[in-house]
Structure 1
């Protein structure tokens, strides 16, 4: 059965998985990766690792990864009257919270709810224009009391996700919660499908990772297991083709995936990635050879696992591909199926290349000393 990018993405978007609760996504991804893999495993934290290609001991080890989790919330306190206080998990945009609908993954199944907002008719002054802090927000699940909430399967620690089922927009765009990073997860499955009947010159590891939105380091146990020479991460990056960001950068939807030149944590350069010129040239020359559109991106405020992966072992070369995405970390992210397809195509071209065409890696550096 041929890979269907649209239905695969919509299936993954229908799932709820804040950091630490990625099981539903892993349960879909792992058997699909296993269809053509040499072996698959799920580690203690929940990372899904699938191995393909060469099993020669000196083969170049390349890891392609994307994270499974999404931004969301967790129940912090249940009031006596049944209203629920909550904490952010990851970085959902606070400005979008009041009035949003959510799903609570309770012990008895999914429970719908909404984040309360002071009735407009009784709001005064700044209350009508300024969103309240999270300490002043609550979730309403219709519970009449704390015990009523308990009986619905809700407790302190219950995960909560944004609720916005995927819908298709014009020009091959899709709008949904959790495009960050179910787009990347879809790319992993698309890559696995493309290489299913191909002979690889490298040892390829496809990894669906956990807890990126929480601490950006949930993937590290997989790094220690795989011991890669080079990694390629696939994630989203803010698209700057909207009226509010048009003057900031040139990255646009439907113009191909972004190639990361620079990213770092928005509150200082505690961690981030400056991509090696050799890696940049490898990505761009491969895209040009196969006539795949790409864009360069410089994205302060964006950070991915590569910021920490590059510091493991004796140093690991890292590449980053990004699907441009509007309205990131909101309930209504928007991205392009065309950009996603081009990302899959480029990933396949990269991993199907001969090992001697890859950029200088830690392995070749070690053997040259």
Structure 2
């Protein structure tokens, strides 16, 4: 594989894939993984699974994963006048909706649209400052009637994504929709490029997962099939270097990936991850040995698949590497190409280590099937 981090990320950012509709991303990722993998396949839900490294049945089984889907919407109703009512799929920032442009993935191809907003000149009082509820919003695709919209290939259930083509900012930053989590997908492909054809002490499974933004559990069939001893999840996390978050936490852009110490769902602690201290130490020690900058993160309100993966089998050790990202779940997320590259480099060193250096005791190895 000949791998270019920036061009690969830009290619993935150009794709539109809300949860349950990841095929277009999987169709790009799977053949790229297959170039250097022992085997690749796609499971029933659409998870792409590629195996690298040792084929010894007793080898440690390491799973590195990231999700392919992005936050977006779905058509709920088409009005008789052709305007589109819609529902959120995942958690797009509601405050950014009015006036945003979108793409509808219709049966006849992509259909551009915009989320309507009451004309400023006729707005009164709070209407000029408050974001309307989603049931008060609509999408304008230029249709003159319901039949016109149907003729364009738009129907109830049509996926909708935010529209913001990627662009490069100063200091090696990128602005785009869907950096969450095409950054992670790019990291998977970068790792695959680094380990392709190489002898590893471990059996490495790279998984591009589905439906994280919907139910955070789409990866579980892949976990049950692989039966990993340890997993490393790659996702984004809010960067706290903007004026609104500068006092909240220390994790910032351009200082390397974050090592997850704690995360959990923002509306309660029913799911989340408290990373084992020995796993955190393993990540930090490896980064230090190879002069890779890393940061620690504690992130209430952030949740990844690890919150559920850790409870599978007899319990699975989970690690998380997070790429700092500004303006998360908005049409204009911002992240650093340097942080992405450092994440790829750290992953390569982690999986290339000798089995005895992994933070696993004999009792923590997977049970026989």
Q: Does TM, scored on the shorter chain, surpass 0.5?
A: yes
**Relative to structure 1, is the Cα distance of residues 223 and 156 closer, same or farther in structure 2, using a 3 angstrom cutoff?**
same
Aligned-residue CA RMSD in angstroms? 1.0
Q: What is the TM-score when the length of structure 2 is the normalising length?
A: 0.98
**Relative to structure 1, is the Cα distance of residues 361 and 305 closer, same or farther in structure 2, using a 3 angstrom cutoff?**
farther
Name the structure 1 match of 2:183. 183
Distance in 1 separating the partners of 2:361 and 2:134: 45
Name the structure 1 match of 2:232. 232
Task: Give the CA deviation at 1:2.
Answer: 2.8
Distance in 1 separating the partners of 2:216 and 2:74: 18
1:114-136 CA-to-partner distances (Å, cap 9, x unmatched) read: 00000000001000000100000
Matched pairs, number: 367
Name the structure 2 match of 1:334. 334
Name the structure 1 match of 2:195. 195
1:256-282 CA-to-partner distances (Å, cap 9, x unmatched) read: 000000000000001000000110000
Q: What is the TM-score when the length of structure 1 is the normalising length?
A: 0.98
Does 2:121 correspond to 1:116? no
Question: 5 Å matches for 1:269-308?
Answer: 269-308=269-308
Distance in 2 separating the partners of 1:279 and 1:251: 19
Distance in 2 separating the partners of 1:45 and 1:140: 32
SS in 2 for 1:55: coil
Name the structure 1 match of 2:359. 359
8 Å CA contact 2:314, 2:366 repeated in 1 = no
8 Å CA contact 1:317, 1:361 repeated in 2 = no
8 Å CA contact 2:26, 2:68 repeated in 1 = yes
Distance in 2 separating the partners of 1:348 and 1:57: 22
Does 2:216 correspond to 1:216? yes
Question: 5 Å matches for 1:1-369?
Answer: 2-361=2-361, 364=364
Distance in 2 separating the partners of 1:89 and 1:361: 40
Distance in 1 separating the partners of 2:329 and 2:175: 12
**Relative to structure 1, is the Cα distance of residues 366 and 304 closer, same or farther in structure 2, using a 3 angstrom cutoff?**
closer
8 Å CA contact 2:229, 2:365 repeated in 1 = no
1:214-246 CA-to-partner distances (Å, cap 9, x unmatched) read: 000000000011000000000000000000000
Runs ≥4 in structure 1, deviation > 4 angstroms?
361-367
Unaligned runs of 5+ residues in structure 2 are none
Distance in 1 separating the partners of 2:160 and 2:313: 36
SS in 2 for 1:112: strand
8 Å CA contact 2:228, 2:366 repeated in 1 = no
SS in 2 for 1:273: strand
Task: Give the CA deviation at 1:39.
Answer: 0.6
